[in-house]
Amino acid sequence: MTSVSHSSPKALSHIRVLDLTRVLAGPWATQNFCDMGAEVIKVERPGAGDDTRGWGPPFVRDGAGRETSDASYFISANRGKKSITIDITVAEGQALVRELARRSDVFVENHKVGAMAKYGLSYEDLRAVNPRLIYCSITGFGQSGPYADQPGYDFIFQGMCGLMSLTGFPETPDGENGPVKVGIAIGDIFGGMYAAVAILAALERRNVSGTGQYIDLALLDSMVSLMSYQAQNYFLSGRVPKALGNSQPNLVPYQVFRCKEGKIILAIGNDGQFASFCKIAGRPELASDPRYSRVGERRRNRDSLVIEIKRVMLERTTREWLDLLNPANVPCGPIYDMKQVFEDPQVAHRGLYGVLPHSAGGLAPNIGNPIHFSETPIRYAHAAPLLGEHTRPILSDLLDLAPEAIEALRRKGVVG
């Protein structure tokens, strides 16, 4: 992770995003814009802010090593943003948001369906003051349909999209194993990424048409689309895919194997890789066996082939297998815990870990953005902001409010 260089060009330095999101999906979308150089103004509730500020421990520590009020969850999705506190439930707060939207390119929110209209901040309301505005609403089930008004959380979408029926190990007759969720809020992350892609497309369209548009982004939709080839397998075969543990439905061997010491992932995707593996494993006859020589045959004879490979893998340690298989271009890898991930030399080389200055006086660890531009490299200015850290500068510099006007709003509780 590289610190900011003010002389470096940034891909989206000409874009301003007004961010009325909280928790994860929306903040993840807008953090991507921030990483790419956009000015992202995060509007938060006075006195409380984004819910995830308090989702700790752990919390960020200040320069003296004391815990702050900002949790790791919050700083994972809000780096580089500016925080302004506005009470959008009152008319004066709504007027401030409309004025900020008039001067922005993108507006992102993830409130319940109809909430923004109640506050006079719907797409129609803001389009009236800024026809070029790209307005993105991120909700659980979308703006229409029988579930539109229902609250939704990542865990629910993992179940509803079919993902949990594919993860974990096959359920046994006694009810053991069964559905398992992914260990991160993957629905929020992918929903945020789809939102970012959609907003970028809408911005490009605006360059042609001159007008903005509305984006309806549902987390359930995002998760269903994520089912990709597993859904396609079902469409073509009529067979409902089931959980295979660490196996893959179309490729064999493509799973975790126990070694003499430790475990290893084998991810063999073609016949050439399989032949190379068999040669190194001392079992070249497996590659010429008509039951296993082709991808489709290996899949049909999965059970017998896996038994053979299990025996072979127990002959060496994980490290020994990695040292033999990697030079031969046989896809394989270790299974890391989070500590080991960031100790890996490839991860370190790619700059995926770093620390950023935090306004409380300490340093905040962050995971880097995976995008590498040749002409507009991503640079990071600072960690996630303190609650309301930029309220006065934004009101003063962007909205041209006088100090006495800002103070009057503060006394009324309109801003923090």
- Catalytic residue numbers, as ranges: 188
How deeply is 22 buried, as exposed, middle or buried, from its count of CB atoms within 10 A (0-12, 13-18, 19+)?
Answer: buried
Task: Say if residues 10 and 36 touch (Cβ distance below 8 Å).
Answer: yes
My answer on whether omega of the bond before 253 falls inside 30° of 0, hence cis, is yes
Instruction: Please say whether the dihedral angle defined by the alpha carbons of residues 296, 299, 300 and 306, taken in this order, is positive or negative.
Output: positive
CB of 263 closer than 8 Å to CB of 335:
yes
**Coil, strand or helix at 318:** helix
Closest by CA position to 155, among listed 163, 145, 166: 163
In order of 259, 291, 306, 389, the CA distances from 256 in angstroms are: 10, 21, 11, 48
Which positions ≥6 away from 355 have C-beta within 8 Å?
A: 1, 363, 364, 365, 366
Phi, psi of 126 (to 5 degrees): -80, -30
Report the alpha-carbon distance of residue 178 to residue 171 in Å, rounded.
4
β-pair type (16-20, 106-109): parallel
Strand runs (DSSP E) across 207-297, as ranges?
214-218, 254-258, 263-267
DSSP-derived 3-state class of residue 238: coil
Which of 98, 110, 107, 125 lies closest to 15 in space, CA to CA? 107
Report the 10 Å Cβ neighbour count for 71.
21
Answer yes or no: are the C-beta atoms of 191 and 113 closer than 8 Å.
no
